[in-house]
Amino acid sequence: MKKLEGKVALVTGSGRGIGRSVALKLAADGARVVVNDLDAGPAEEVVAEIREAGGEAVACVGSVTAVDFADRFIKTAVDNYGGIDIIVNNAGYTWDNVIQKMSDEQWYAIIDCHLTAPFRILRAAYPVISAAAKAEAAEGRVVHRKVVNISSIAAAGNAGQANYSTAKAGILGMTKTMSKEWGRHKVNVNAVAYGHIETRMTQALAGDASKTVNIEGREIKVGIQAAAIEAGKQMCPLGRPGTPDEAAGAVYLFCIPESDYVSGQVLVCGGGLGTV
């Protein structure tokens, strides 16, 4: 029997990159997945991929920062699969600048995506999780649920990323707090802090050419100078960036039964580089 057979997993930002790999990995081990992306196309592609492999998945399209998203996300899981077992707060992006040039819009966009959105999702999930946990306790059953929040080694501070570093440090505080609040409901709350993982956000730039992605109508510059990537390889004990599939493996460790007595912890997935 698969370790996550019958579990219901919600993964934000799972139409692309790390989130996609997380959704596919959880589904491959039996989880029924609620896939989320800003755009319908990528979300539906991941749903189709999961179904073609014999799994179950449904899409919940939209921005995690929308005020109604959290309720809609939770409702999608309950309406389609009857409950919640795993929540992975993964959606995110970077919008960098030094603090003296950073606008309020830049600050709040990143804080809202990486910190406010997970707060709202967990708040919306509480009634469902609490009711299920109380019913299971009355029946004498112990069922562990899992929350995995995505952080970064940038939580320790990264020049040019005051907004992102603050948000990623904040999610660690939320993780440790929720592990204490929700332990009585048998919910394990942990975080994965990534180093350099190869995604469209961290792709190498060709020369000085800027690359952008459109996020909620904003053209956001992404990518890393090739020289910086090479320097990072030299510093990293494993000598390379990680892949999205490797990043998903770290999340998976916190979702399986073997981690039922692990809570309030931060796992750095950085090839030996970085601490938080």
220 CB burial (10 A radius; 0-12, 13-18, 19+) = middle
Question: Is residue 126 annotated as a catalytic residue, yes or no?
Answer: no
- Name the active-site residue from 81, 164, 194, 252: 164
Edge-first strand listing for the sheet containing 187-194: 57-61, 32-37, 8-11, 86-89, 145-152, 187-194, 266-269
C-alpha neighbours within 13 Å on the C-beta side of residue 173 = 12
Distance, in Å, from the CA atom of 252 to the CA atom of 249, rounded to the nearest integer, reads 5
Helix (H, G, I), strand (E, B) or coil at 234: helix
Length of the chain: 276
Backbone angles phi, psi at 33, to 5 degrees: -115, 135
Query: Which residues carry out catalysis?
Result: 164
